[in-house]
Amino acid sequence: MGEELMSTSNSGASIRRREFVARLLSACPQSLVIAGLGSSAYDLFSAGDRPENFYLWGAMGGAAVMGLGLAIAQPTRSVLVITGDGEQLMGLGALATVGSQQPANLSIVVLDNGHFGETGMQASHTSLGTQLAEVARSCGIADASRIHALDEVDALATRVNARAGCLFAQVHVLDEELPRALPLRDGVHMKNRFRAALGLPTF
């Protein structure tokens, strides 16, 4: 029992998170992107800032539901949520709501290093047996997969760009601590530039 609980979901992971994110974004240039707080936001910013990126500085657990609302509001655009295992664990209920709505243009990508990177690299629940892809599938997201190799990014990007169905990808990444690449903290500015990129009025 103890050994089973301590088995890590990303044991043997070889994917470097920033390389994965950079390749995914390069292959999905038209996507609207929501980044969960912390490392996911730093990874997205490191890959190249753009008006179509929205970085969450707070609201832990809110990335998937924000992506859901955006996908419903912008049905002709690909919406890509990039977040971490700790952030998604905080918002597990969001997956049930996403599964009930099934927006075909929404993709949720969780970078799973098995740790809470922002609070000291404590082991997260994915290091203790929780399999996020299985949780997503049980919530009704049929296209839920686990990714263990960098060369799987191109197939994932093809699915994201196709907007042919809601998808969830649990990407097992190395538990490396990287220098922080900090995006702008001005929430009003980010909101307005994101709205402007969508052709909406700013205020």
**pLDDT bucket at 63, cuts 50 / 70 / 90:** very high
Residue range(s) defining the domain that contains residue 77:
2-197
Share of residues in the chain with pLDDT > 70 (%) = 90
Of the listed ranges 4-8, 22-26, 194-198, the one predicted with least confidence: 4-8
Tell me, what's the pLDDT at 12?
Answer: 67
In this predicted structure, the answer to whether residue 34 has a pLDDT above a threshold of 80 is yes
CA 169 to chain CA centroid, Å, is: 8
Domain membership flag for residue 90: yes
Q: Are 8 and 144 in contact (CB under 8 A)?
A: no
Q: Please name which of 191, 189, 139, 128 lies closest in space to residue 168, comparing C-alpha atoms.
A: 139
**pLDDT bucket at 11, cuts 50 / 70 / 90:** low
Domain membership flag for residue 68: yes
In this predicted structure, the answer to whether residue 94 has a pLDDT above a threshold of 60 is yes
pTM: 0.90
Domain membership flag for residue 116: yes
| 120: CB partners within 8 A, 6+ apart | none
In this predicted structure, the answer to whether residue 28 has a pLDDT above a threshold of 90 is yes
User: How many separate helices (H) and strands (E) can be counted in the chain?
Assistant: 9, 8
As a whole number, the mean pLDDT across the chain is: 89
Section 91-112 average pLDDT: 96
The CA–CA distances, whole Å, from 84 to 39, 66, 102, 163, 182 equal: 7, 15, 21, 22, 16
Q: Please name which of 132, 147, 128 lies closest in space to residue 87, comparing C-alpha atoms.
A: 132
Give the number of domains in the chain. Answer: 1
Domain membership flag for residue 85: yes
| Helix pair angle (63-73, 92-101), 10° resolution | 20
Domain membership flag for residue 203: no
Domain membership flag for residue 99: yes
Task: Quote the CA–CA distance of 27 and 30 in Å, as a whole number.
Answer: 9
Task: Quote the CA–CA distance of 55 and 26 in Å, as a whole number.
Answer: 18
- Between 178 and 151, residue with greater pLDDT: 151
**pLDDT bucket at 116, cuts 50 / 70 / 90:** low
Tell me, what's the pLDDT at 10?
Answer: 54
Domain membership flag for residue 73: yes
Domain membership flag for residue 109: yes
Q: Find the CATH number of the domain harbouring 94.
A: 3.40.50.970
